Structure 1
Amino acid sequence: MKVLTVFILALLWDVLLGEPPTLVHPVVWFGKLAGFIDGRWRRRGPLPDFLAGTLTALIVLAFALVLSLLPLYLPFPMNYALAAYLLKSSFAVRSLHEHVSMTVTADIGKKRKAVSMIVSRETKGLDEPHLNSASIESLAENLNDSVIAPLFYFLLFSLPGALLYRAANTLDAMLGYRNEHYEYFGKFSARFDDLLNFLPARLAVLLYLPLGGDRVLHYYRLARFKINSDKPIAAMSAVLGVWLEKPGVYRFPGREPANSDIERALRIYWLVVAEWLIIVSILLVTGVCPCLNR
């Protein structure tokens, strides 16, 4: 199959149709499979929990790999249709914009509810500036997780790379918490996701450079709080000139984020997405990556 054709079909699906129905969404399947095993494993101690969590992750990753290889065994045009569908399920350009745009409201109650849908932190006690910050942070972090990283691994390893990344990211979102229940069971998932995001998170910062120049590099040097997730957030903070803060975890300097800054962040989002899609398209057309010629 021609990977450029698959990419174009997947991108058209995303722009025109958005997310696939929940019932047939591969990412939902990854989550349900991980949740099914997690719910049936009684915690037994550090080593057994780590081994069980690692096995859970490997089962989900193996399932993702099998799904990604299915198009190879189908005739034309079913192979292209399934490959495009699976690739589209690994990234989410349109839906990310839609979810974040819902937080642009003067109604604090509606804003709090909308923000709670896109962040894992508790939003009940957050004031308006911190709700605005949380929305922008989510946009910046998910720009990496939901757009840049899956297509980065698509460039390197074609469809299996994109789908395996999405499975790993889903595992981290479900199991990668540092609490008593998941400290050991989710450790492999968390560390594997850290490994996969190391390069894409820094690539994301480079994509912000044309928009913020040296200021982006300065904020990048301030991002020493997390391994990966704070890097794209630092870059967004630099370009917007507003402070972004997760209390007790990180804070980047700037003026107080207003409602209008979420709208500005969405415009920046589309500029960075456009940069990345152009780069991906050029690499696919030229066949620079060896794996794309297979």
Structure 2
Amino acid sequence: MTLILAMLLDAAVGEPKAIYSRVPHPAVLMGRLIGWADNRFNQGEDPKSDRRRNGILTMLALAIGALILGKLLTAFGPLVEILVLAALLAQRSLVDHVRDVANALRLSEGDGRMMVARIVGRDTSAMDGPAISRAAIESAAENFSDGVIAPIFWFALLGLPGLLLYKITNTADSMIGYRTERHRDYGWAAARFDDLLNLIPARLTAALIAATHQVFHGWPLLVRDARQHRSPNAGWPEAAMARALNVALSGPRSYDGEMRDFPYVNVDGSHNANPDHIDAACTALWRVWGVVLGLALLLTLF
């Protein structure tokens, strides 16, 4: 019942500004801790070996701390569990941010580029309408796995300790898991551990999207596309969403001024994604969310 109530609370209120304008969001607190550790420990006489060792120790300390904190919070009872889980789910906020891109793009490509830049890390200045739409849909699919299905999975498996372990790892990966000069070694452990924790949830997300949109018969092709993706996990929900909407996703894009020739996911789908496709992706997220809620209810009853 804790999971059901938390899902409903998140769906109803999302991230209320009245609260988070006064107190930091739990993910913000996690980010501050990771940022402090990055500034303090991402250094060493031998940049490669020392930074990788420090990164491993940092990730180990964060993981242990998350497990201990989760255990302590559990002792305060189900109300605290519901509030923490609801705060760390991202269904309502994700859908709202993605739908904002569709609404902005209907006004102009400039508005669409400005809005999509808030949810993706790639260069957006030269994006046309289809590229903006693809980016929004990809963000919807990937973040649905990271922000909804994976937290639910780890909470269902290990309770609040599992949830906090996943969230601190995922936050660390998003901050220091990039293969930049500064974080290539120090962020290695965070990136690899995040890959491990998302291994099952990413594939589960793909299966849920495929099953709820009658595209499960294309599973072998979905698997093929997912394995071509640059990420070991993000390709799975993206490939499923691409087939659910019959659009081509991923493909060439620019990072830090450098154009990268990534392969398309579902290359035979439409290459002219538009705001209607973004809206359809948001509807898909709610459909899968509803199925997960129903499954949670059945498990609670029986």
3-state DSSP of counterpart to 1:51: helix
Counterparts of 1:124 and 1:38, CA distance in 2: 29
Paired residues of 2:3 and 2:296 also in contact (CA < 8 A): no
Specify the alignment match of 2:94 in structure 1: 96
Aligned equivalents of 1:148, 1:125: Cα separation in 2: 32
Q: Report the RMSD for the aligned CA atoms in angstroms.
A: 1.7
> Quick one: structure 1 residues 65 and 129, their matched pair in 2 at CA, closer, same or farther if it must change by over 3 Å?
same
Cα deviation 1:63-109 (Å, max 9, x = unaligned): 322331223433xxxx2222111111221110011000100132212
In 2 relative to 1, CA 250–282 (structure 1 residues): closer, same or farther, beyond 3 Å? farther
Q: Which residue of 1 aligns with 2:78?
A: 80
What does residue range 123-272 of structure 1 map to in structure 2 within 5 Å? 123-210=124-211, 211=213, 212-224=215-227, 225=229, 226-247=231-252, 248-252=261-265, 253=267, 254-255=269-270, 256-272=272-288
Match of 1:10 in 2: 6
Aligned twin of 1:69: 71
Judged with a 3 Å threshold, the aligned counterparts in structure 2 of structure 1 residues 73 and 246 are, in CA distance, closer, same or farther, namely same
Q: Distance in 1 between matches of 2:74 and 2:248?
A: 48
Q: TM-score with structure 1 length normalisation?
A: 0.89
Whole-angstrom distance in 1 between the partners of 2:87 and 2:60: 20
Letter of the 2:296 counterpart? V
1:51 equivalent among 44, 50, 53 = 53
**TM-score for the superposition, normalised by structure 2:** 0.86
The answer to whether the Cα contact below 8 Å between 1:14 and 1:88 also exists between their aligned partners in 2 is yes
Q: Is the 8 A contact 1:71 1:82 kept in 2?
A: yes
Which whole-Å CA distance do the structure 2 matches of 1:279 and 1:235 have between them?
20
Kindly provide the CA deviation profile for residues 243-293 of structure 1, in whole angstroms up to 9, marking residues without a partner as x: 11242233121112112110111111111111222223323443xxxxxxx
Amino acid in structure 1 at the alignment position of 2:26: P
Correspondent of 1:273 among 272, 289, 292: 289
Instruction: Tell me the distance in 1 between the aligned counterparts of 2:29 and 2:235.
Output: 28
Q: Secondary structure at the match of 1:100?
A: helix
Mapped contact 1:148–1:204 kept (Cα < 8 A)? yes
User: Is contact 1:10–1:84 with CA below 8 Å preserved after alignment?
Assistant: yes
Residues 101, 116 of structure 2: 8 Å contact kept: yes
Matched positions, count: 278
- Is the CA contact 2:7–2:89 (under 8 Å) kept in the aligned structure 1? no
**Cα distance in 2, alignment partners of residues 121 and 222 from structure 1:** 21
State the alpha-carbon separation in 2 of the partners of residues 277 and 217 from structure 1. Answer: 27
- % identity of equivalent residues: 36
1:290 — aligned with what?
Answer: none
1:30, CA displacement in angstroms? Answer: 1.0
CA contact (8 A) 1:207 1:272 kept: yes
Determine the C-alpha separation between the residues in 1 that align with 2:242 and 2:207: 14
Alignment-derived partner of residue 40 in structure 1: 40
> 1:115-145 deviations in whole A, cap 9, x for unaligned?
1111111111222111110000000001101
* SS of equivalent residue, structure 1 residue 242: coil
> Unpaired runs of 5+ in structure 2?
253-260
